[in-house]
Amino acid sequence: MAEMIPDQLPHRASKGEERLFKLLKRLPDNYIVYYEPIVENRYPDFVIICPDMGLMIIEVKGWYAKEIIATDHNSVLIKGQHGEVRYNHPVRQARDYMLSLMDQCRENPSCRRLLVKEGEQQNKFIFPFGHFAILSNITSDHLLNHPAGDLTSIFSVEKNITRDVLMEWADNDDLSENDVCKILQDKFNPYWKIPVLTEEQIDVLRSIIHPEIIISTSNKSESSATTCGLKVLDLKQEQNARKIGDGHRIIFGVAGSGKTVLLISKARLISTQRPNDNVLLLCYNVALAVYLKSCLVNCSNITVMHFDGWSKRNGVVRRNNESSESLGRRLLQVLEDGNGDARKYQLVMIDEAQDFDATWFRCVLESMEDPYDGDLIIVGDGNQGLYANRAIFWSDIGIQARGRTIYKKFDLDKNYRNSKEIIELAALFAHRGDTEGSEEKNGILSILVDPNKCQRPTGIKPFLIKSNTRYEENTRILKVVKDLLDGRWFGHVIEPLNPKTDPNSIGILYPYLNKQDQGVFSDLLKSLEELCPVIWVNRDQESRKRISEPGIKVQTMHSAKGLQYRAVILLWTDHLPIPFGNTDEESDKRLLYVALTRSEDYLAISSSSPSKFLNEIEQSNKAMHA
């Protein structure tokens, strides 16, 4: 069965579209059928990626013969309920959509993968484009015997399928996938045999038809498929973004499951479908807000902010040492009084919800135009909660959670980001509590991370770097970075990282910076800057906004939440668990879990002193000594 996007038609779809939808389902598994994608702000009814034939566009018209007043090859005059209306001829309309798609393909930076590289056909598409129309309520007899005359030349059988033919196909249970393929093949003009399109070429076409599936390649969040620099959602994730229903929705997922990517894709989709709606996307930390904003830069109706920034915009600035609960109460009062962003948004989306105080969710509801039945999407992972907040009882807040929590349905218990070896190590520090309790009273669930559900190929075990002093630690980390840029990883040959373009793929994360380490830290930054561009994300407020700029990112583990890198080096890991003050070992475990799961492929854990957590790593045999 073909991959149908969406997998169900909306209620407004016509009977003719329903019949065609069921017919197209019979196509082979590797065919992708889109219903009403957007092409230059217009909606063709069906676009089909046929990997062994090309790209087909189908327009379905539900006109009745008696409604046609006059027609030619360019337009059709229809008698409607409110008078006469002139429409483009459906075949011309399908052709215009086809030409628009061809133009978008040519303008796309990845277009070269769709063109002939050399010879007489150089720079022409390697596959044909096709188009035709379906007249779902007009038979061939209606055309032949129309009051305006014989219309069969205007609606030729080569490019128009009439109702009687459509019904014959739809009612024929013996019609095979090969038969349906032959129907499409006959509508390509010209048609020529092509090599089956590669996964990479199909992903380029998918990204042109649905641009919202593209995942940013600059300092990025959770991702899936990779195609020579173009990263897109896989088909399952693309479907999931379209399946998120209206109303209040709570989405849980393990680290690297694609939660943030799902949210970004849904935001882009909503921005396209509902351009006049005000949409608010909130998260906890500044760096992730900057990244999300860069991903949604073309979505003018979406406001992206971290919660403190949103609060400040509403006139409530966090005081020194003020708790999140207190900040939330003060902002709530402003919104309840009808000031600021009160009742402004038709949709609110929340990432990193595990770090939101209960009062913050109340603020969100007050900002919604319809807090009871409006659209609210909450995304989080209890395993990544880094701040001690009060227990959340959804029903007490006013959020409708029962029956609206999602994770297994969307495969969010699977990990797309990290290698199995990295997750096996990170699992040592994951939450092991009950994850299946009441939907209303569990707040943000901590879903057990399962290394066997990693979707990426097996990789290289993480490495432990044990040094005698902080300065020795610097020296060894610098060597690791040099080797990465030269295409080596602890003796393994890997794809080299271009020092001019790829230091963005490296993250150096540390728990915190104390006075004792400031000198050695400054030396490390200076030495790194001799190798390639470096951005110390936590230098000041402005530097946090540079998270999407090229360069190795040096940042705290807290600020890295929601981000990921191809290679991660954990600096001063012996600082965890924190050995002083009123510390919470469970919180430190979650912090280390977050840090470990930022790495896609390569992970090094550096220290110059012993610690409890390092002992656990050593005893687990989940990491190798460097």
pLDDT given at position 407:
61
Strand order through the sheet with 302-306: 302-306, 279-283, 347-350, 375-380, 248-252, 405-406
The pTM score is 0.76
Reply yes or no on whether the pLDDT at 318 is more than 90: yes
Q: For residue 449, which phi and psi values (nearest 5 degrees)?
A: -80, 130
Per the CB < 8 A criterion, the answer to whether 447 and 383 are in contact is: yes
One fold for both 232-417 and 463-625? Answer: yes
Task: State the Cα–Cα distance between residues 2 and 18, nearest whole angstrom.
Answer: 15
Residue 82: pLDDT band (50, 70, 90) is confident
Task: State the Cα–Cα distance between residues 279 and 299, nearest whole angstrom.
Answer: 10
- Token pair 């609606």 is found at 155
pLDDT given at position 224:
35
4-43 pLDDT per residue, tens = 998 888 888 999 999 999 999 999 999 999 998 876 667 8
Reply yes or no on whether the pLDDT at 400 is more than 80: yes
Find, among 248, 269, 346, 340, the residue nearest to 5 by Cα: 269
Tokens at residue 249, please? Answer: 């929705």
Half-sphere exposure of 484 (CA within 13 A, CB side): 30
Q: Is the dihedral of CA 558, 561, 563, 568 positive or negative?
A: positive
Q: Please give the C-alpha separations between residue 562 and each of 38, 224, 249, 548, 565, in angstroms, as whole numbers.
A: 30, 15, 20, 13, 11
H runs (alpha helix) in 377-460: 394-397, 420-426
Sequence-ordered list of residues with C-beta below 8 angstroms from that of 275, at least 6 positions apart, any chain: 300, 301
Whether omega before 577 lies within 30 degrees of 0, making that bond cis, reads: yes
481-504 pLDDT per residue, tens = 999 998 999 999 987 766 555 788
281-297 pLDDT per residue, tens = 999 999 999 989 988 98
Task: State the Cα–Cα distance between residues 37 and 206, nearest whole angstrom.
Answer: 10
Angle of helix 163-170 relative to helix 15-24, nearest 10 degrees? 50
Sequence-ordered list of residues with C-beta below 8 angstroms from that of 529, at least 6 positions apart, any chain: none
Find, among 327, 375, 349, the residue nearest to 282 by Cα: 349
pLDDT given at position 443:
65
Whether omega before 533 lies within 30 degrees of 0, making that bond cis, reads: no
Sequence-ordered list of residues with C-beta below 8 angstroms from that of 455, at least 6 positions apart, any chain: 224, 414, 415, 416
Please, which residues bridge with residue 368 across strands?
345
Task: For residue 324, count other CB atoms closer than 10 A to its CB.
Answer: 21
pLDDT given at position 435:
47
Comparing 146 with 253, the larger pLDDT belongs to: 146
Whether omega before 190 lies within 30 degrees of 0, making that bond cis, reads: yes
Domain boundaries, the chain: 3-209, 232-417, 463-625
Q: Please give the C-alpha separations between residue 4 and each of 23, 26, 235, 249, in angstroms, as whole numbers.
A: 11, 10, 10, 24
Task: State the Cα–Cα distance between residues 24 and 465, nearest whole angstrom.
Answer: 56
Task: State the Cα–Cα distance between residues 423 and 430, nearest whole angstrom.
Answer: 10
DSSP string, 184-230: HHTT-SS----PPPPHHHHHHHHHHH-GGGEEP-SS--S--EEETTE
Tell me the mean pLDDT in the region 528-537.
95
Residue 440: pLDDT band (50, 70, 90) is very low
Residue 436: pLDDT band (50, 70, 90) is very low
Reply yes or no on whether the pLDDT at 70 is more than 50: yes
Q: For residue 253, which phi and psi values (nearest 5 degrees)?
A: -165, 155
pLDDT given at position 255:
85
Percentage of the chain lying above the pLDDT 70 cut: 91
Reply yes or no on whether the pLDDT at 220 is more than 60: no
Find, among 333, 330, 332, 335, the residue nearest to 319 by Cα: 330
Task: State the Cα–Cα distance between residues 242 and 269, nearest whole angstrom.
Answer: 8
Reply yes or no on whether the pLDDT at 439 is more than 50: no
Please name the CATH architecture into which domain 232-417 falls: 3-Layer(aba) Sandwich (3.40)
Find, among 133, 123, 164, the residue nearest to 58 by Cα: 133
Per the CB < 8 A criterion, the answer to whether 419 and 454 are in contact is: yes
Q: Please give the C-alpha separations between residue 446 and each of 216, 223, 403, 413, 431, in angstroms, as whole numbers.
A: 27, 21, 18, 10, 6
Find, among 188, 176, 195, 236, the residue nearest to 1 by Cα: 176
Mean pLDDT for the chain? 89
pLDDT given at position 578:
85
pLDDT given at position 222:
39
Which CATH fold would you assign to the domain 463-625? Rossmann fold (3.40.50)
